[in-house]
Amino acid sequence: MMMESSPTTARVGHPSKEDAAETSDRIIDAAARLFADQGFAATTNEQVASACGAGKDTIHRRFPSKAALFAAVTERMRARTLDGLEAEIDSADGDALSRLKRVARWFLAVNLEPDMIALNRIALSEAILLGESRAGPWETEPEESDPVTERLVALVAAAQWDGKLGGGDPRVIAAHLLHSIVTGPSHDAMLGRWTYASMEAQDRFFDQAWALFLRGAGRSLPAGAR
């Protein structure tokens, strides 16, 4: 008599795309926690395998090196940053300069989040040790096009179009804005300081930095009015 196949019989063969994606997500989740908690050098693939329940061979097939695994963690952080930025842009109202100001404040806040600080710290320390120029979670090399930066450049260009910012290359102005708003507090946090831990401290810094940015990038005045 022919036996009917049981619906609970284990599947054999290659995993489905959904299963493979879920496994990769678990690996990246575990790696992100370990990198953030103990740094790049102290984290091993064996620790990642133990933390996520995947075999070392499984991890190696997806991420052939620890650097590749860290790159995957960084890329996911960049994707989440882009999602958050687009949501912030969609919810911003007012004129172009008001929207740019709101997004600039968001950039400051997101770069002071613990996960972002940890990954930026790792990227910077590894770049120094290896003598390389390595980008952080939401940055790319100068010759690359990054959608996060592109959104900010578009906001700068819109403010220029409205006459609220002076002329010039919007990419240069966007880079100057990020440098003046983000770089100091981000580096301060990477050094383990708590200068900008509170929202009040962030607001005070941002208001001053935004005013200084407008003095440099604001609409040009006639020569006799300067």
**In the chain, how many domains are there?**
2
Residue 173 CA to residue 193 CA, distance in Å, equals 28
Give the pLDDT confidence score for residue 27 in this predicted structure. 94
Q: Are residues 161 and 52 in the same domain?
A: no
In a domain, 12, yes or no: no
Q: Are residues 129 and 172 in the same domain?
A: yes
Indicate which CATH number applies to the domain containing 208.
1.10.357.10
Report long-range pairs for 162-169 (Cβ below 8 Å, ≥24 apart): 162/95, 162/96, 162/97, 163/219, 164/95, 164/96, 164/97, 164/218, 164/219, 165/97, 165/217, 165/218, 165/219, 166/217, 166/218, 166/219, 166/220, 167/220, 168/217
User: Which residue, among 136, 81, 74, has the nearest Cα to 103 in the 3D structure?
Assistant: 81
Domain that holds residue 103: 78-221
Q: Are residues 113 and 166 in the same domain?
A: yes
Residue 165 CA to residue 168 CA, distance in Å, equals 9
Q: Mean pLDDT score of the chain, rounded to an integer?
A: 83
In a domain, 31, yes or no: yes
Distances (CA, A) of 28 to 22, 117, 200, 205: 10, 17, 34, 34
Give the pLDDT confidence score for residue 218 in this predicted structure. 64
Q: Are residues 86 and 58 in the same domain?
A: no
3-state secondary structure (DSSP) of residue 41 = coil
User: Which residue, among 100, 226, 87, has the nearest Cα to 162 in the 3D structure?
Assistant: 100
- The DSSP line for 114-153 is HHHHHHHHHHHHHHHHHT-----TT---TTS--HHHHHHH
* pLDDT of residue 139 exceeding 60: no
User: Which residue, among 4, 2, 51, has the nearest Cα to 27 in the 3D structure?
Assistant: 51
Q: Are residues 97 and 40 in the same domain?
A: no
* pLDDT of residue 175 exceeding 60: yes
pLDDT tens per residue across span 177-217: 999 999 999 999 999 999 999 999 999 999 999 999 999 87
Give the pLDDT confidence score for residue 219 in this predicted structure. 57
Q: Are residues 54 and 161 in the same domain?
A: no
Q: Are residues 60 and 84 in the same domain?
A: no
Q: Are residues 118 and 193 in the same domain?
A: yes
In a domain, 10, yes or no: no
Identify which has the larger pLDDT, 195 or 139. 195
pLDDT tens per residue across span 69-94: 998 999 999 999 999 999 999 998 89
In a domain, 5, yes or no: no
In a domain, 160, yes or no: yes
In a domain, 129, yes or no: yes
Q: Are residues 155 and 202 in the same domain?
A: yes
Indicate which CATH number applies to the domain containing 45.
1.10.10.60
Q: Are residues 158 and 186 in the same domain?
A: yes
Record the pTM.
Answer: 0.77
Q: Are residues 104 and 46 in the same domain?
A: no
Q: Are residues 160 and 60 in the same domain?
A: no
pLDDT tens per residue across span 83-126: 999 999 999 889 999 999 999 999 999 999 998 998 888 887 76
